[in-house]
Amino acid sequence: MKVIMYGVSDDERHHVQAWQDQHQDEIKLVTEPLTKETVALAAGFDGVSTKQVESLDEEVYQQLSAFGIKHLALRIVGYNIVNFDKAHAHGITTVSNVPAYSPRAIAENGLAVALNLLRKISVLQDRERRGDFTLPESLMSEEIYTKTVGVIGVGNIGSASAQLYSALGARVLGYDPIYRANYEPYLTYTDLETVLKEADIITIHTPLDDSTREMLGAKEFALMKPGTIFINQARGGLVDTEAMIAALESGHLGGVGLDVLSSESEFFWKVIEDPAQLPADYQRLAKMPNAIVTPHSAYYTQTAVRNMVMQSLEDIRRFLNGQKPLYVVDL
């Protein structure tokens, strides 16, 4: 098969090579994301895979379809970059993702950031770098087993997070419209309002779509307990960024750990020489010692990167062989 992969980073190349050694496929690697400017490169290929946070332009579906490509393989979990109505209307029949390339990668990262915020490690380090080695009572901490953690969105990643927190002795509450009894050992299911009102640490792992866009706004942040630590590694669009930053700046939120921001495609994974060019939301967060912002790197482990490449290529192979891909996004 002839496949073109977009959004390729250097760390993926040896996995692609390993696939090629086994399958002798022709695979073209493109570092840019799949956009209306780059879609022409897909002419003559049978399959397309991409890893990106930029939403797909309508022209992309039109062009891919015109090239005879009917399947789009996302090498990521999140499928919010796809407009399914437009994709289907233009003849893209199948979209696949890689839903569980490594839920633990993201869960462990979220736990690390939450513990950093709870134990105020970055705040203490920041003071120490400025020569202040004192311990004011305001920086006294608490221990995780005394805390309640709220998991919003209990799927692959949310449940992996719940499992880690519960292993440390925290009380874990979970909210998800879909109930799965197999997660009961790690959490107690409840409604969203109870999660917001009772949790000391809230971590969100919901897919972004029209029903979840800005599901946490000023009202929801106000319901949270003073001092709540909020972790978002899912998508920036799940929260009203202005309301979240206002809750942090007012001192209502105790800290935020953000691996995603609505404005991220402007600067994440890029070098920005002039800090004045950074988006305003980031500039405000960067002034807050209790905000930890990471560049959409929670997924970034060896296991995750290998599985993203291999599982996405496997689904293209299946589709081209007339089989159903293993991970069809079925909306």
Which member of 12, 220, 264, 314 is catalytic?
A: 264
Please pick, from the candidates 78, 91, 279, 289, the single residue that binds ligand COI as defined by CB under 6 A.
78
Beta bridge partners, 202, equal: 150, 230
Q: Does 3 contact ligand COI by CB under 6 A?
A: no
Per CB under 6 A, which region of 72-80, 135-143, 245-253, 311-319 contacts ligand COI? 72-80
Q: How far is the CB of 38 from ligand COI (least distance, A)?
A: 17
Tokens 């009961």, residue located: 184
Please pick, from the candidates 12, 50, 51, 202, the single residue that binds ligand COI as defined by CB under 6 A.
51
Q: Does 77 contact ligand COI by CB under 6 A?
A: yes
Burial (CB < 10 A; 0-12, 13-18, 19+), residue 253, is buried
Q: How far is the CB of 78 from ligand COI (least distance, A)?
A: 3
Nearest residue (CB) to ligand COI, 194 versus 265: 265
Q: How far is the CB of 87 from ligand COI (least distance, A)?
A: 17
Tokens 């009917």, residue located: 70
The token pair that represents 255 in the structure block: 């800290």
Q: What are phi and psi of 161, to 5 degrees?
A: -65, -45
Binding mask 104-143 for ligand COI (x = CB under 6 A): ----------------------------------------
Nearest residue (CB) to ligand COI, 212 versus 228: 212
Binding mask 179-208 for ligand COI (x = CB under 6 A): ------------------------------
CA–CA separation, 76 vs 192, rounded Å? 27
> What residue spans of the chain are helical by DSSP H?
10-23, 58-66, 84-89, 103-118, 121-129, 156-167, 192-198, 218-223, 241-249, 280-286, 302-320
Please indicate whether residue 249 is annotated as part of the active site. Answer: no
CA–CA separation, 182 vs 82, rounded Å? 30
Nearest residue (CB) to ligand COI, 296 versus 317: 296
Q: Does 76 contact ligand COI by CB under 6 A?
A: yes
Q: Does 221 contact ligand COI by CB under 6 A?
A: no
The whole-angstrom distance between residue 102's C-alpha and the CA centroid of its chain comes to 12
Per CB under 6 A, which region of 30-38, 76-84, 160-168, 216-224 contacts ligand COI? 76-84
SS3 155: coil
Nearest residue (CB) to ligand COI, 78 versus 237: 78
Q: What are phi and psi of 105, to 5 degrees?
A: -55, -45
Alpha carbons within 13 angstroms on the beta-carbon side of residue 321 total 10
Q: Does 71 contact ligand COI by CB under 6 A?
A: no
Please pick, from the candidates 61, 299, 319, 327, the single residue that binds ligand COI as defined by CB under 6 A.
299
HEC profile for 237-303?
Answer: HHECHHHHHHHHHCCCEEEEEECCCCCHHHCCCCCCCCHHHCCHHHHHHHCCCCEEECCCCCCCCHH
By rule CB under 6 A, what count of residues binds ligand COI? Answer: 7
Per CB under 6 A, which region of 70-78, 118-126, 189-197, 284-292 contacts ligand COI? 70-78
282-317 per-residue burial string, b: 16 or more CB within 10 A, e: under 16:
bebbeebebbbbeebebbbbeebbbbbbbbbbbbbb
Give the CA angle between residues 291, 293, 298 to the nearest 5°: 130
Per CB under 6 A, which region of 73-81, 149-157, 188-196, 319-327 contacts ligand COI? 73-81
Which member of 75, 104, 235, 317 is catalytic?
A: 235
Query: Footprint of ligand COI on this chain (CB under 6 A)?
Result: 51, 53, 76-78, 296, 299
Active site amino acids: 235, 264, 296
